C-alpha cells in the first residue's frame, strides 16, 4: 500500500465518522495561518520600533562632579 493510498484510506475512514476532508484541512491549516499572521505582526512592530529608535536623538551625557 503506497503512502497516497494510505492517506486516501485515512481520509475516507474519518469521513465516515463525520470528519469531512474540508474540515480536516481547515483544522490543519488554522494553526499555520495564526502563526503566519503573528509573525507578520511582530515583524511590522519590530520595524516601527527600529524607526522610532532611529528617529530619537540621544541626549549628551552629563557627568556629575
Q: Given this model, what pLDDT does residue 20 score?
A: 73
Q: Given this model, what pLDDT does residue 32 score?
A: 94
18 three-state secondary structure = coil
Profile the chain (65 residues) by mean pLDDT over runs of 10 residues. Answer: 84 69 83 95 87 74 79
Q: How far is CA 43 from CA 18, 29, 30, 51, 61, in A?
A: 39, 21, 20, 12, 32
Q: Given this model, what pLDDT does residue 60 score?
A: 76
Q: Given this model, what pLDDT does residue 38 score?
A: 95
Question: What are the residue boundaries of the structural domains of the chain, listed by start?
Answer: 20-54
Q: Given this model, what pLDDT does residue 33 score?
A: 95
Q: Given this model, what pLDDT does residue 10 score?
A: 81
Distance of CA 9 to the CA centre of its chain: 30
CA atoms 16, 20, 21, 27: torsion sign: negative
Amino acid at each position: 500500500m503506497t503512502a497516497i493510498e494510505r492517506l486516501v484510506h485515512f481520509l475516507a475512514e474519518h469521513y465516515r465518522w463525520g470528519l469531512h476532508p474540508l474540515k480536516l484541512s481547515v483544522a490543519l491549516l488554522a494553526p499555520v495561518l495564526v502563526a503566519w499572521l503573528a509573525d507578520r505582526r511582530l515583524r511590522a512592530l519590530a520595524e516601527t520600533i527600529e524607526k522610532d529608535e532611529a528617529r530619537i536623538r540621544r541626549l549628551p551625557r552629563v557627568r556629575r562632579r
